[in-house]
Structure 1
């Protein structure tokens, strides 16, 4: 690893230092390495590992020193643009991937097209849909640090009590199992145990309902500028799931994402859709859990994927941009990418890392097996937050008994307005 890294960094570093000397905006080579700041929101054990990877990169060469600063994702979202405006922002920043197009559209991120074109960038084998999430109108403004499809977590003990031996694989099986797992002991119409926790708004990573719409054969946006949510396929999907939730009572109504997490972690819901963090939540609450792909709908088996990405801010001069790109190339080396996957609990970002390399972490192994079901959520759509808000309103009102056709027409208009 170190020999190849040294060779790549030597080339990049030499170029960067020449640029720094010419521009006058960075210290010349005789004054020491180029200093970069890196904001990220990895606040748990994964953050410690990321900081260690940064330290290892710093130790692997002498052209650059990156200093990580840990903040919450919300703080990054709230403070990045003001910090950049006052020239006090970071040189590298990580954020949820669906947010990156918003900032790229506002000129916050540098174009990384040339970086991706460089054979030494180690990006050739990255998961294509992970790169799609940070690409706007054909231009890549970031690199992925995580990409994982939502998965179904299920309570093995509750499955065993109900005589269910394996996870459902289709919608019909899912509803049938959820009905069997729903328990209303006193017959008052409010189950003490639900078969599944399906939030109707503020859903996990905003991806549950988009996953269902995809599996049912529908879409939300065609490309980046055409709303297509008002379709017969989406109407059928909404009707199927609102019926299962309200009539079969397999899940509470009015549930949000946090409430769904709590139902599963308390043992009051047998199934739940979530991301890698649910493994820790289940373990902390002594839930013996399994992981499976979200069951297939009538059209396909698909799950919206959660993404995190990092980019170089436009505040960075050419020397710092070269340093950031050198770090990205280091981060994507096969051994470093494997280390990061095992530590973060997310599938490898490189498609050429075999499952055997991550089998020591059962959560990573399970999520890697279902990785092909992942679909980028609203890739390249600048106003993705407004689109998600419209979907939230649609699903919440549909589950509450609203007219599905009218709601889809309203969502169509709102989403089209958001993306124009």
Structure 2
């Protein structure tokens, strides 16, 4: 069921904005002032701060002021701040959290923004737009959308005489078997071919990626559980056999532990995002990046995303000004600068890998962007849904009966969606 409105003054936008794409000018009271909350603190934060500074310098009708906090702090404090009337005008957050706030009427609808070609948004990656769409309405502008990928240890590949990363599931397992080393034959390899965490995985996207690859899914239409399917049964049986029986990957590990196993040189392949570049570099690993291998039905990878949104304070001037900043953020120059600075692929499909070729990692991920799928788009109860998936996959890789586990997960996920 729908949640009740937050507070008076934070309601669902009743009148469509007509000022999208306009150029704001200073009023007699001065420029429109916008507060922007975000959690970017590394090199990406430096680039974002520069884009904001350049935007403020580019015109005299709008001033954007940023406030930086950890993402978890933003999530914890946004609703109380909006209730008190001192929240941000623009907020960035992990995309899986956006539906929670959109469902409560906290954000301005942005369909008109996407409809106006002047806003540089007509060619934003469709998966990234799906990521910020709730109930058929777009409520955000992505700042990041990157599919998970295979990161592999080139030295271990070379030592095994393997020259190319795998392209299909069968090749993936065969490659992992060739890279798994159990020198003392005690049943516990000293080196695994791959480390595939079975719970608390990288942004919870590994197992959805595998479900997609065999034609399965978790939730359909934002409100219907579809995890208990023949396709997902087949997927879990395939990987249970490869992991629990063939021991190509350790079991019982989470995403953080998987990063540690790969960084220690104890696994030849792992699944991750752009942060793996820094983990590999810090540990002296010469790495390569490849797409998640194609499953029997599709080549697909769950994508990690972050999005900006406009808080609905019934101030049309601020909403229009925020959209002008979004259009500036998405222009050609800033699209390239942001991609290179954040390490994520360009958000717009017209920005090619050649445009970011100076960063080989970004170029590689840009070439893979076509495989990205949003994780649980529009699902308000995503946390509860992913908790049920975590339990399913961990127990499945431990060897439990998959059909029983899928039936239990179906019931739990549907109950969460109906809540």
SS of aligned partner of 2:216: coil
Cα deviation for residue 249 of structure 1 reads 0.9
Question: 1:37-92 deviations in whole A, cap 9, x for unaligned?
Answer: 11111121101111110111010011111111111111111111111111121110
Cα deviation for residue 12 of structure 1 reads 2.9
Q: Could you tell me which residue of structure 2 aligns to residue 346 of structure 1?
A: 344
Pair 1:301 & 2:312 matched: no
Identify, as 1 or 2, the structure richer in helix: 1
Q: Residues 236-255 of structure 1 correspond to what in structure 2 (within 5 A)?
A: 236-255=234-253
Pair 1:380 & 2:378 matched: yes
Question: 1:363-419 deviations in whole A, cap 9, x for unaligned?
Answer: 011011111111111111111111111100100111122211111001111111122
Pair 1:12 & 2:23 matched: yes
Aligned 8 A contact 2:20 2:112 in 1: no
Question: 1:268-288 deviations in whole A, cap 9, x for unaligned?
Answer: 111000011111111111110
Cα distance between partner residues in 2 of 1:378 and 1:295: 21
Cα distance between partner residues in 2 of 1:318 and 1:276: 37
Q: Could you tell me which residue of structure 2 aligns to residue 230 of structure 1?
A: 228
Aligned 8 A contact 2:21 2:320 in 1: no
Q: Could you tell me which residue of structure 1 aligns to residue 168 of structure 2?
A: 170
SS of aligned partner of 1:413: helix
Aligned 8 A contact 2:145 2:305 in 1: yes
Cα distance between partner residues in 2 of 1:391 and 1:201: 8
1:74 to 72, 75, 89: 72
> Between Structure 1 and Structure 2, how many residues are aligned?
400
SS of aligned partner of 1:12: coil
Aligned 8 A contact 1:215 1:302 in 2: yes
Aligned 8 A contact 1:9 1:61 in 2: no
Q: Residues 29-68 of structure 1 correspond to what in structure 2 (within 5 A)?
A: 29-68=27-66
Q: Could you tell me which residue of structure 1 aligns to residue 110 of structure 2?
A: 112
Question: 1:307-330 deviations in whole A, cap 9, x for unaligned?
Answer: 110000113622221211110010
Q: Which runs of 5+ in 1 are unaligned?
A: 1-7, 18-28
Aligned 8 A contact 1:89 1:315 in 2: no
SS of aligned partner of 2:28: helix
Cα distance between partner residues in 2 of 1:363 and 1:10: 33
Cα distance between partner residues in 1 of 2:135 and 2:60: 36
Cα deviation for residue 118 of structure 1 reads 2.3
Q: Could you tell me which residue of structure 2 aligns to residue 158 of structure 1?
A: 156
SS of aligned partner of 1:307: strand
Q: What RMSD in Å do the two structures reach over aligned CA positions?
A: 1.4
Pair 1:124 & 2:122 matched: yes
Q: Could you tell me which residue of structure 2 aligns to residue 276 of structure 1?
A: 274
Q: Could you tell me which residue of structure 1 aligns to residue 354 of structure 2?
A: 356
Cα deviation for residue 9 of structure 1 reads 10
Cα deviation for residue 32 of structure 1 reads 2.0
Aligned 8 A contact 2:113 2:323 in 1: yes
Cα deviation for residue 155 of structure 1 reads 0.2
Q: Could you tell me which residue of structure 1 aligns to residue 7 of structure 2?
A: none
Cα deviation for residue 356 of structure 1 reads 1.3
Aligned 8 A contact 1:91 1:316 in 2: no
Cα distance between partner residues in 2 of 1:357 and 1:100: 30
Cα deviation for residue 11 of structure 1 reads 3.8
1:291 to 282, 285, 289: 289
Q: Which runs of 5+ in 2 are unaligned?
A: 1-18
Cα distance between partner residues in 2 of 1:229 and 1:139: 25
TM-score between both structures, scaled by the size of structure 1: 0.93
Cα distance between partner residues in 2 of 1:9 and 1:299: 41
Q: Could you tell me which residue of structure 2 aligns to residue 323 of structure 1?
A: 321
Cα distance between partner residues in 2 of 1:10 and 1:259: 46
Cα deviation for residue 157 of structure 1 reads 0.3
Question: 1:333-390 deviations in whole A, cap 9, x for unaligned?
Answer: 1111111111111111111112211111100110111111111111111111111111
Cα distance between partner residues in 1 of 2:296 and 2:329: 39
Cα deviation for residue 10 of structure 1 reads 9.4
Cα distance between partner residues in 2 of 1:210 and 1:154: 21
Question: 1:78-110 deviations in whole A, cap 9, x for unaligned?
Answer: 111111111121110001112101110012111
CA pair 10-304 structure 1, distance change in 2 beyond 3 A: closer
